[in-house]
A = this chain, B = another copy of it.
């Protein structure tokens, strides 16, 4: 792989990761399903309501008994919500009934308690009659057995959880999440919380890629760090491939003397080279023992830009989530860009729809990345853009 365009590399990555899109189902408790993606159409196993029931607290009667009001009827029974024997209304009487309770056979309307008075114990006076069907919830009037309640591919929100619970599901089949391992490299990296000696920096790529991957719907199965020792790196890769469907590495891909990722994976068939973009130029990709490995440069900003340009939407698609697409914004200030390279600048959207640069093109500006909410995408032919120009921006 010599210097290629962003589009060419993205297409190659797409091919390498094609298998990631084929997902299996995973059965999980409904209580853990929020934010997961339904694997297939979910049909109702029951009618909803499950039985004909009362929409009000009141009296179940035959509507013909209450055509003339006021009328006083005997209260022949009381029907509470809850498990009950099927009841039959004594002809000409009223059954006191609670909201949600099954309506007795022979009754076809509910008179709300508000429209009644009690003349004496055991009877009720109906002040206002009701027609057949009023306040009656017919069996299946909400959902018929077999109706599709949640379509395949839906990101499950509370409202979907709600209907699945209402028809009695305790579990649901969701799309399995793509399992991704992250391997960072670099002799200069140390753990957060440690004291630094000269030449050391904190390892932020592992936790950053993990956060991005989770936000893209992936399951992060491992976050490991390797030294620049090829043997150690190989061990870490071997460990990662046991559980991962995709491995993402950071560092060790550029033109230095100690480029462990390139040195180990190059001879194993990996393609390493330069993509005409800034930041994030050096890139690699390998099919390692059947597992795809994407190799990003080690600089923290380059790593994130690489993830967004080459991996994010593939991971999201595998997870069943919609792609994050660029939108158009107006440049707040003028921009210069080197010729022959697609440039991805950190920007911040203002309330007026314009986008501001938050820092220069330096790939080490991590703080700027935290303040940025978009990447401003300047194509490789463009060397200068005036303030007020339209640009494409990628949400971060």
Q: Residues on A close to B: CB < 8 A?
A: 30-31, 34, 44, 46, 48-51, 55, 57, 78, 80-86, 96, 98-102, 113-114, 137, 141-143, 147, 149-150, 157-163, 165-170, 186-188, 191-194, 196-204, 207-208, 210-212, 214-215, 223, 228, 254-258, 298-300, 304, 362-370, 372-373, 396
Which chain B positions have C-beta within 8 A of A396? 157-159
Assess the B162–A102 pair: CB atoms within 8 A: no
The answer for the CA separation of A208 and B163 in the assembled complex, in Å, is 9
A53 nearest CB across to chain B (Å): 8
**Interface pair A100/B298, CB less than 8 Å apart:** yes
Chain B, Cβ-Cβ closest to A368: B142
CB distance from A325 to the nearest CB of B (A): 16
Contacts of A169 in B (CB 8 A): 192-193
With A99-B254, A159-B396, A163-B367 in contact, do A31 and B84 touch (Cβ < 8 Å)? no
Q: A304 contacts which of B102, B162, B186, B366 (Cβ < 8 Å)?
A: B162
Question: Closest B-chain residue to A212, C-beta based?
Answer: B158
**Inter-chain contact B204/A147, CB cutoff 8 Å:** no
Q: Are B192 and A55 in contact (CB under 8 A)?
A: no
How far in angstroms is the closest Cβ of chain B from A346?
9
| Closest CB in chain B relative to A349 CB, distance in Å | 14
Contact between B254 and A299 (Cβ–Cβ < 8 Å)? Answer: no
Cα distance, A55 to B159, chains bound together (Å): 51
The answer on a CB contact under 8 Å between A34 and B168 is no
Cβ contacts under 8 Å, A364 to chain B = 49, 55, 137, 141-142
Contact of A142 with B84 in the complex, beta carbons under 8 Å:
no
CB contact between A96 and one of B30, B46, B257 (< 8 Å): that residue? B257
